[in-house]
Amino acid sequence: MSTVPLIAPKHGLFLGGEWVETDQYDEVKLPYDGTVAGLVARASAAHVHRAIEAAQQGARAMAALANHQRADLLLRLADLVRNDEHELAQLICSETGKPIKEARLEANRSVHTLIAAAHAARDLHGEVVPMDFAAGAERRMAMTVREPLGVIGAITPFNFPLNLTLHKLAPALAAGNSVVHKPAERTPLSALRLAHLVAEAGVPRGAYNIITGDGPALAAILLQHPAIAMITFTGSMKVGDRKSTRLNSSH
């Protein structure tokens, strides 16, 4: 009796709302037994620059939205993630080797991360500050407003690949920014699935971009690129210290 071999799904880069193929692909394997769970595109430096250019356009689109519009986007995405929890949990299992119970908890928690960010988007506001702490400024008030930073570089670890992605993406979108995301090389599959949901939710093109491949090389470009307004990184102290040193030395 013959069997038909399973073909691992192939994933491109998500740049400017489009799926982009590359010349090289890396295998993502189930840690438990080495089964190939997916093939993921290997980004080049040119792809990273393309992602950042797309994110600059995405940042302008997000900044133009009112707070309630950003909140509604995040709530639509939360509904899509909730409806897709089963598949997302399966992907988390496939890339991390987590028990399905823990993967389901992570997928469910991701919904609440999005809802919390949506509430935060509605509550974003500046301040009105009395200026009479100084002589000559009696009966004067200063008004502050919050402005988006622009393009955020996000680097996430392997252990909570979906929820930690949303810990970075959801607040960034809530505040009117865009994101270039480099997921961990071992666990990019749930983030790539999330990109489909982001597009379905109607998030502006370029607001979320994913580059996969050689982690240190891709991160180095993000750290040094002048268009990246902020880096948000979750990982070990050792790697974080290296990234901080590289960032400080580039300015």
- pLDDT surpassing 90 at residue 4: no
- pLDDT surpassing 90 at residue 31: no
Per-residue pLDDT reduced to its tens digit, 95-121: 999 999 999 999 999 999 999 999 999
Rounded Cα distance between 209 and 119, Å, is 24
CB 127 within 8 A of CB 144: yes
pLDDT band at 32 (very low <50, low <70, confident <90, very high): confident
Average pLDDT over residues 13-18: 98
Q: What is the pLDDT of residue 241?
A: 64
Nearest-5° Cα angle at 33, 30 to 36: 45
Q: What is the pLDDT of residue 2?
A: 33
How distant, in Å, are the alpha carbons of 34, 146, 212, 237 from that of 27? Answer: 10, 42, 11, 27
Q: What is the pLDDT of residue 236?
A: 65
Rounded Cα distance between 207 and 54, Å, is 8
pLDDT band at 137 (very low <50, low <70, confident <90, very high): confident
Quote the pTM value.
0.89
Q: What is the pLDDT of residue 74?
A: 98
Q: What is the pLDDT of residue 175?
A: 98
Average pLDDT, the chain: 91
**DSSP at 5:** P
Contact residues for 61 (Cβ-Cβ < 8 A; gap 6+): 178, 204, 205, 206, 207
Put the strands of the sheet holding 10-11 in their side by side order: 10-11, 36-41, 25-29
At 240, is the secondary structure helix, strand, or coil?
Answer: helix
Which of these ranges, 20-24, 46-50, 234-238, has the smallest mean pLDDT? 234-238
Q: What is the pLDDT of residue 8?
A: 73
CB 158 within 8 A of CB 236: no
Q: What is the pLDDT of residue 1?
A: 33
Per-residue pLDDT reduced to its tens digit, 203-232: 999 999 999 999 999 999 999 999 999 999
Helix axes 237-249, 215-224, angle to 10 degrees: 40
How distant, in Å, are the alpha carbons of 139, 141, 239 from that of 128? Answer: 12, 6, 40
Average pLDDT over residues 150-169: 97
- pLDDT surpassing 80 at residue 237: no
Q: What is the pLDDT of residue 30?
A: 87
pLDDT band at 134 (very low <50, low <70, confident <90, very high): confident
Q: What is the pLDDT of residue 133?
A: 87
Average pLDDT over residues 23-32: 92
Nearest-5° Cα angle at 125, 166 to 156: 15
